[in-house]
Amino acid sequence: MTLPTETSAAPAPTGNLEITVSRAELLRELTAAQSVVERKTTIPILSNFLFEATQGEGGDRLTITATDLDQSLRTSCAAKVKKGGACTIPARKLYDYIKLLPEGEISIKLMDNHWVQIRAGRSNTKMVGMARANFPQVPEFPASGAVKISVPSLKNMVSKTIFAISNEESRYTLNGALLVLKAESMAMVATDGHRLAHIEKLGETLDGVSGEKKTLIPRKALSELSSLLGATEAETLEFGDDDQTLFFRVGGRVLTSRKLTGQFPNYEAVLPRDNNKFVIVRSEDLMGSIQRVAQFADERSGAIKIRLEQNELKLSSSSTDAGESEDTIETPYNYDPLVVGFNSQYLIDFLKAIGNSGEVRLEFKDAQSAGQMRPEDANEDVKYRYILMPMRI
């Protein structure tokens, strides 16, 4: 049986909020929340933070919410609450102002007409807020069905796939990465139609997942999630969803994102099966060569040529206006010679994602088929591969 996702939230505080909070704590939470605030919005209230002050048995809290309607972030910190209540404050202005204040206590008080007074030491400022009633309702974390996921594992998976997500708005099912959860493994895959990044982490125990749970996470949410995962000391996060919304609870922060609708392509069909020619090179050497040769590639396509011959890998490029360049890397190779073209930036993205260390294996079938790259390391638990469509050159 599944319980309804609506939880009986505490009644929204009303009244003239009056609190004192430490600058360091307030700034830390504002920093987390401000990236969600819509910069150029036609709906003025979305440029504001919602502040809610509550007194409770667990101590007084200030809860800060930011939303752009697609996603929201709710975070909180300890505060001394003289009067519970709620107000909204222009986010950018507040964040920039708090950054400029010296360390110490800050007192915040809601005045008439939605003005908010901020006092710290000898500074006294009044900011023009807006009515609390205008602030959109933010979805509540589901009461049941959340899955606990390892923070380091998810953080690694996001960094290995986010760069391959499509930027083309028209291909909206490619504007996110697919998270695949199973009882003992999780995987993430992203593609823009020209390349595909796929990472699988085995040996994860995911309670509450039976069979397979597939979720498409929008790029914007992944990028926000990546910041949250980078800033937390928590070992696990909670991931939940309902019909419209994805929820991520990291430490005391909750990120929500509207779901992407539509079907992610059948990526398993494009994973190469018979790339039987391969070469292994040091990541650093390959990166250096690609970066040098790419300087002379055609500006629009960024195409460079990879030529594999007896025990060497040659990279070359040429363009009518820049000139031409060739780099050779000596490495064992004993298959038929092969010439294939790739977008140099796509190769660089992958090498950056693996941290440009160790060795990398390049696997090919022929000049017309997708190439596959993967780190040549002994990590049995994490399988990472990157599929690249060749270019005509």
For the segment 176-192, what is each residue's pLDDT rounded down to a tens digit?
999 999 999 999 999 99
> What's the pLDDT score for residue 1?
42
pLDDT beyond 80 at 14: no
pLDDT beyond 50 at 19: yes
CA distance 277 to 371: 10
DSSP sequence for 185-247? EEEEEEE-SSEEEEEEEES---TT--SEEEEEEEHHHHHHHHHHHHH---SEEEEEE-SSEEE
CB neighbours (10 Å) of residue 132?
21
Q: Name all domains of the chain by residue range, CATH numbers in brackets.
A: 18-134 (3.10.150.10), 147-268 (3.10.150.10), 272-388 (3.10.150.10)
Residue pair 201/186 in contact (Cβ under 8 Å)? The answer is yes
Could you read off the pLDDT of 316-338 as tens digits, one per residue? 999 999 999 999 999 999 999 99
Rounded mean pLDDT of 87-109? Answer: 97
Could you read off the pLDDT of 137-173 as tens digits, one per residue? 999 999 888 999 999 999 999 999 999 998 887 777 7
Paired residues of 51 in beta bridges: 64, 87
Could you read off the pLDDT of 276-319 as tens digits, one per residue? 999 999 999 999 999 999 999 999 999 999 999 999 999 999 99
pLDDT beyond 60 at 13: no
Rounded mean pLDDT of 260-280? Answer: 91
Q: Name the band, by pLDDT with cuts 50, 70 and 90, for residue 208.
A: confident
CA distance 207 to 160: 24
Percentage, residues of the chain above pLDDT 90: 83
User: Structure pTM?
Assistant: 0.90
Return the amino acid letter for 40: K
- CB-based burial label for 233 (10 Å; 0-12, 13-18, 19+): exposed
> What's the pLDDT score for residue 139?
95
* Chain length of the chain: 393
> What's the pLDDT score for residue 15?
62
Q: Name the band, by pLDDT with cuts 50, 70 and 90, for residue 10.
A: very low
> What's the pLDDT score for residue 330?
96
Percentage, residues of the chain above pLDDT 70: 96
